[in-house]
Amino acid sequence: MNNQPSSKKFLAWFNPLGRQPGSWAFILSRITALGLTFYLFLHLVVLGRLAQGPQAYQEFLALAESPIVKLGELAVIAAVIYHGLNGIRIILTSFGIGVAHQQRLFYASVALALAGTVFFGIRLFGG
């Protein structure tokens, strides 16, 4: 068995095709964790920029109103909601609660994450 790292193996790590819902949950959890980690570093860079004074703060406020930044904020909200709900699902099943209903819990967490994302999207873009 070839256990050497390769780009093909790395990409297969994220490939949900032909997998069970539990694998989808795990892959989505990986992706949201990586996205939230990236956001944390980006957030720290922005905070450092804001510490440069009122001019930098005004530039940030202008940038924050752009649709691209708002879409990014919505992606962060979606990732936080899904990642948190999936974490709760994992905790429950780790304690033996709802083990027989893992698939339904996954679908419920996705549905709640979508509903929450739509709610915040309406608030963010609609008014």
pLDDT tens, 64-95?
Answer: 889 999 999 999 999 999 999 999 999 999 99
Rounded Cα distance between 19 and 24, Å, is: 7
Domain total of the chain: 1
Mean of all residue pLDDT scores within the chain:
88
With a cut of 80, say whether residue 120 has pLDDT above it.
yes
With a cut of 70, say whether residue 1 has pLDDT above it.
no
- Per-residue confidence at 127, pLDDT binned at 50, 70, 90? low
The upper half-sphere exposure of residue 51, i.e. CA atoms within 13 Å in the direction of its Cβ, equals 6
* Predicted TM-score of the model (pTM): 0.80
Give the CATH number of the domain where residue 113 resides.
Answer: 1.20.1300.10
- Per-residue confidence at 6, pLDDT binned at 50, 70, 90? confident
Q: Are 98 and 18 a contacting pair, CB within 8 Å?
A: no
With a cut of 70, say whether residue 46 has pLDDT above it.
yes
Which of 7-21, 71-85, 91-105 comes out lowest in average pLDDT? 7-21
Range of the domain at 44: 25-126
39 lies in some domain? yes
9 lies in some domain? no
User: How many CB atoms are closer than 10 A to CB 81?
Assistant: 20
19 lies in some domain? no
